[in-house]
Structure formats: structure tokens, C-alpha cells
Chain A
């Protein structure tokens, strides 16, 4: 099971772009990279998932270099409501169909605080 390393905390200001990098040196060939967002007293919420290169959706972009040993979650023009903890996971897709033995494992995540 690939381990991940993220910064414990980050600070930013409204309107700025925020990039959170996750290191996963032991990522396996079939592993996906998935990012979650968690607000206080709520369950984590899926943000984005990718396997290689770049993925973009309405919320964020995910950049994955060719060696896949790291990934960067990019949040464009953050607002106060983006203050949350962001988790990086590697492994099978947590959204896969039933079966399999993959267990989504969460580290401490990155606590992002957006200031006015």
C-alpha cells in the first residue's frame, strides 16, 4: 500500500491559486490518485481523481508527472469556503464497483486556511 506525504498545513488568501503537493514514491502501476476535501464535522468529499498527466473538473485540477511519484492538487482562485482539510490517497479507485480488497487509507491531510 503506497504511503503518501503531504504538508500538514498551508495558508492562502482569497483569490489566489493554491497548489498542494502529495508525494507517493511507492505508487504501484495500477494505482489511482484521489483527492478528498473535508470540512469540520462532515465526511470527506471526493474532489478529483487521476492516473496520469492532467485532470480538470469544475472544482480543481490534478497534475501528475510522468513518474507518478507525486501529484499536485490545484485550486484556482480560492475563497474562504475552501478552508478545509485535503487528503491525498493512492490505490484502487475508491469509487470502484463492489469487490476487491482495496481499503482507502487516509493520512493526516493538509489543513488549508484561506484568509480574507
Chain B
């Protein structure tokens, strides 16, 4: 069975600072990978998905970007964080979700 790792688990960053969240997947190969964001008390919003290395599709215009440098690695980035970027970020593959990263932008 597959396992999804995310780090860091929690992060507090000032407005305007860069961001890098990492997701790695074990136990499967060539998965479709997804980044979701969940604001407090809200549902899951799909941000990006990838069907293969270097292939990224964006669902929502924003100041975030994603990259997939390896088959089982998915990275979420930003050059300058906004207050509205605060939330719970989840990586998923094959219907399985990682533990998430809680991001607070101050």
C-alpha cells in the first residue's frame, strides 16, 4: 500500500516570504498527484495536479506554483506569500491523502 509524506507539518511564515512544501509518495509508481488547500471551516480546493514528471495543471489562478521533479515528488512553492495563502495543504495520490501541512501567514 502507498504512503504519502508531507513536510513540514506546520509552518509560520511572514507575508512576502517564499514557500516550499514537499510531498513524496511511497509504494506506487507513476501516480497522478494532487495539491489541495483547505481554509478554516471550508472544503478542499484543488490547486494543482500532475499526471507525470514535469507535467503540471493549475486549477486556480494564484501566486502559488507546483513542480514535479521526480515521479514520486511533488512540490508546492511561492515566491511571495500572501495572508490569504494561510490554510491546510494536502497532497494526494490514488485517493490517499497525506497528513497535511498547516501554513499560517502572518
B-contacting residues of A (Cβ < 8 Å)? Answer: 34, 41-46, 87, 93-109
Residue B64 is within 8 A (CB to CB) of chain A in the complex: no
Task: Write the chain B residue with the least CB distance to A89.
Answer: B95
Interface residues of B in 32-86 (CB under 8 A from A): 32, 34, 36, 42-44, 46, 49, 51, 59
Contact present for B46 and A103 (CB under 8 Å): yes
Interface residues on B, range: 20 to 34
Contacts of A34 in B (CB 8 A): 95
Q: Which one, B32, B34, B90, B96, contacts A98 given CB within 8 A? A: B32
Most buried by B among A34, A41, A96, A98: A98
A105 to B92, CA, bound (A): 12
The verdict on A98 contacting B30 (CB below 8 Å), with A42-B99, A43-B90, A46-B95 known, is yes
Q: Which one, B29, B30, B95, B100, contacts A94 given CB within 8 A? A: B95
Contact present for A46 and B43 (CB under 8 Å): no
Contact present for A104 and B92 (CB under 8 Å): yes
Interface residues of B in 90-106 (CB under 8 A from A): 90, 92, 94-100, 102
Residue B88 is within 8 A (CB to CB) of chain A in the complex: yes
* Inter-chain pairs besides A95-B95, A98-B28, 13 sampled, C-beta below 8 Å: A34-B95, A41-B88, A44-B97, A45-B97, A87-B43, A96-B94, A98-B51, A99-B51, A102-B32, A103-B59, A106-B43, A106-B44, A109-B43
A-contacting residues of B (Cβ < 8 Å)? Answer: 28-32, 34, 36, 42-44, 46, 49, 51, 59, 88, 90, 92, 94-100, 102
What is the interface of chain A mostly: helix, strand, loop, or mixed?
loop
Task: Write the chain B residue with the least CB distance to A96.
Answer: B94
A50 to B92, CA, bound (A): 20
Contact present for B31 and A98 (CB under 8 Å): yes
Contacts of B32 in A (CB 8 A): 98-100, 102
Task: Write the chain A residue with the least CB distance to B57.
Answer: A103
Contact present for B100 and A43 (CB under 8 Å): yes
21 A/B residue pairs, CB under 8 Å, sorted by A: A41-B102, A43-B100, A44-B44, A44-B90, A44-B97, A45-B97, A46-B96, A87-B44, A95-B94, A95-B95, A96-B94, A98-B29, A98-B30, A98-B31, A98-B94, A99-B32, A102-B32, A104-B46, A104-B92, A104-B95, A108-B43
